[in-house]
Amino acid sequence: MGIDGLGTQVKAEMFGTLAGGGVVHKYTLKSAEVELELISYGARVVALKTKDRDGVWGDVTLGYGELKPYVENTNAFFGVIAGRYANRIAKGRFELGGKTVQTTINDGVNMLHGGVEGFDKRNWQGEVVPDGVEFGLVSPDGDQGFPGALAVRVRYTLRGNVVKIEYSAKSDKATVVNLTNHAYFNLDGEASGTILEEELTLEADAYTPVGNAEAIPTGEIAKVEGTPFDFRKAAVIGSRIGVENDQLKFGRGYDHNWVVRGKAGELRPAAKVVAAKSGRTLTVETTEPAIQFYSGNFLDGTLVGKSGVAYVQRSGFCLETQAFPDAPNHANFPSAVVEAGEEYSSVTTWEFGVLRGRRE
Q: Residue 60 pLDDT > 80, yes or no?
A: yes
Residue 59 resides in a domain: yes
For 66-103, how does the pLDDT look when each residue is reduced to its tens digit (9 = 90+)?
A: 999 999 999 999 999 999 999 999 999 999 999 999 99
Q: Are 257 and 291 in contact (CB under 8 A)?
A: yes
Catalytic-labelled residue, pool 134, 190, 285, 320: 320
Residue 251 resides in a domain: yes
Taking the C-alpha atoms of residue 107 and residue 315, their distance in angstroms, rounded to an integer, is 22
Catalytic-labelled residue, pool 113, 182, 256, 330: 182
Q: Which domain holds residue 90?
A: 9-354
Q: Residue 317 pLDDT > 80, yes or no?
A: yes
Q: Residue 7 pLDDT > 70, yes or no?
A: yes
Residue 3 resides in a domain: no
DSSP string, 208-268: E-BSSTT--B-S--EE-TTSTT--SS-EEGGGSTTSS-HHHHHHTS-EEEEEESS-TTS-E
CATH number, domain of 172, equals 2.70.98.10
Band of pLDDT at residue 356, cut at 50, 70 and 90: confident
Residue 228 resides in a domain: yes
Number of folded domains that form the chain: 1
When pLDDT is averaged across residues 97-111 and rounded to a whole number, the result is 97
Residue 359 pLDDT:
52
Q: Residue 268 pLDDT > 80, yes or no?
A: yes
When pLDDT is averaged across residues 271-280 and rounded to a whole number, the result is 98
When pLDDT is averaged across residues 164-193 and rounded to a whole number, the result is 98
Q: Residue 218 pLDDT > 70, yes or no?
A: yes
Band of pLDDT at residue 358, cut at 50, 70 and 90: low
Residue 4 resides in a domain: no
Residue 172 resides in a domain: yes
Residue 1 resides in a domain: no
Q: Residue 4 pLDDT > 50, yes or no?
A: no
- Rounded mean pLDDT of the chain? 96
Residue 2 resides in a domain: no
The answer to whether residue 25 is catalytic is: no
The answer to whether residue 320 is catalytic is: yes
